[in-house]
Amino acid sequence: MSLSTPQQVMDRLEQIDADLATRMNTLESAARNWFTAKRTKEHDRAVAFISAQGTVAERSAIADRDTAQSGVQEEAEYEAIKAVVRTLEARASIGQSILRAQGRAS
């Protein structure tokens, strides 16, 4: 998409705004799921640590091993959506800068 006129830039900014509005709901849901899974993982790790035998380092390693895969999907989804939202925000910022520059050039 060309951004050579202010109208084209404004159209693109409107598209980005609509995309961000949609993704924000998804991001909020993913964040809630990840933070819930994170608390569960922390609890499970504490239980595994207390249940393990050996030195503190051994018990810690056992607890880490036993809970390493907990919450992986939730974290991945949250981080992926967060990255997309950051990219859209950067594009919006660039679009606003282009629009300002076009306004000064007129």
Determine the pLDDT at residue 7: 87
Distance in angstroms (rounded) separating the CA atoms of residues 28 and 50 = 33
Q: What is the predicted pLDDT for the residue at 2?
A: 75
pLDDT of residue 5: 87
DSSP 84: H
What is the sign, positive or negative, of the torsion defined by CA atoms of 52, 56, 58, 64?
positive
Run means of pLDDT, 10 residues per run, the chain, 106 residues: 82 94 95 97 97 97 96 97 96 91 81
Question: Can you give the pLDDT at residue 80?
Answer: 97
Give the pLDDT confidence score for residue 44 in this predicted structure: 97
Predicted local distance difference test score (pLDDT) of residue 1: 66
